[in-house]
Structure 1
C-alpha cells in the first residue's frame, strides 16, 4: 500500500534564481534613528517601579485593601522602618492616582 506523501518543496514558495549567474547585491537596511523618550516619562516609570517594589516587599506587611500611604504609615507605626524615599514619592502631588494605589488595588478582595 502506497501513501501519498508530499515533498517538502511542495509547501515552500518557489524562488527563481537570477539569469546568467548575475545576482543582485543586498543593500543594508537604513539605520534606525534613535527615538529618545522624554526624560519625564523615564523618571515616571522609575518612580512607579520603586513603588511596585515597595508593594512586593512583604517585610512592611500586607498591602491589599489599603493605599500605599496607609501601608507606609502602618509600617512606620510598627517600627518596620519603611524607606523615606517611598514616603517622599507618595507626598509629591501627581495628577496620576497610580502613585497612591497599591499594585493589587485592581484585584477584588
Structure 2
C-alpha cells in the first residue's frame, strides 16, 4: 500500500497576481559611470585658506562666532592656548583680503 505524499502547496490555494501596467519596454542598460577626474594640486591660496579653516574649526582656541580670526588668535594667545604662529602670519600678510581675516562662520547670522 502506497501513501500519497502531501506537499505544503497542497494545503494552500494558488493565487496568481496580475501584472501592473502591462508589458514593460526594455530599456538599454545604463552606461557605466564616468570616471571623475582627480582635482589638480591646490594653489597656494587654497592651501592657506584651508589652514585658516582648520584653525576656525579647532575648538581648542575657543569660539569663533562674532569675532575676526585675528581677535580669536589674540584671545587664545592671551589665555595661554598657544595658537599657531603661521596662522597669525597668514592673516597679517593678507590683512585686506576678507577671506583671510573673517572667520569661516562670518556669513551666518547670530
TM-score normalized with structure 1 length: 0.66
Alignment partner of 2:109: what SS?
A: coil
Give the gaps of 5 or more residues in structure 1.
Answer: 14-35
Residue 99 of structure 1 corresponds to which residue in structure 2? 100
Q: Deviations over 1:54-96 (max 9, x none)?
A: 0000000000000000000000000000000000000003653
Count residues with an aligned counterpart.
83
Q: CA deviation at 1:97?
A: 1.1
2:27 is aligned with 1:12? yes
2:78 is aligned with 1:63? no
Q: Deviations over 1:2-43 (max 9, x none)?
A: 555213xx2426xxxxxxxxxxxxxxxxxxxxxx77xxx710
Output the CA distance in 2 between the equivalents of 1:98 and 1:107: 14
Q: Name the one with the larger helix percent.
A: 1
Residue 89 of structure 2 corresponds to which residue in structure 1? 88
Say what the alpha-carbon RMSD is for the aligned residues: 2.4
TM-score normalized with structure 2 length: 0.66
Output the CA distance in 1 between the equivalents of 2:48 and 2:82: 19
Residue 7 of structure 2 corresponds to which residue in structure 1? none
Output the CA distance in 1 between the equivalents of 2:71 and 2:46: 22
Does the aligned pair in 1 maintain the 2:76–2:83 contact within 8 Å? Answer: yes
Give the gaps of 5 or more residues in structure 2.
Answer: 1-16, 29-39
